[in-house]
Amino acid sequence: MESLYEKALCHELYLQGIKSENQIAIPVLYKGEKLGEHRIDVLVEDQIILELKAVEKIDPVYKAQLLSYLKLTGKKLGLLINFNVPVLKDGVTRIIL
């Protein structure tokens, strides 16, 4: 489900001339069979995965989730962004595959 953070961020990226897509489905395959799917919050310029949160504290499972998305898509860079911080730059964690 698309959040207000996703909508606002995608709109801001659009205004800056930066291509973004949100709620991108990525299939989870096991031995050639699709077991389900994950949804990427935002994909920027078909290169950077953004996982958006609004939580008190970043749990290690969120980093593992983003790392899984990177592995499943073959992308190299992801940003875990927590909007529940006084200064947004303090809520950004960079994950590199």
Domains of the chain, CATH where assigned: 4-96 (3.90.320.10)
Based on DSSP, count helices (H) and strands (E) in the chain, helices before strands: 2, 5
Q: Which residues contact 41 (CB under 8 A, 6 or more apart)?
A: 3, 6, 22, 23, 49, 50, 51, 52
Lowest mean pLDDT among 5-9, 22-26, 50-54, 80-84: 5-9
Cα separation, 84 vs 55, in Å, equals 6
pTM: 0.90
pLDDT digits (tens, 9 = 90+) for 22-43: 999 999 889 999 999 999 999 9
- Phi then psi for residue 59, to 5 deg, are -85, 145
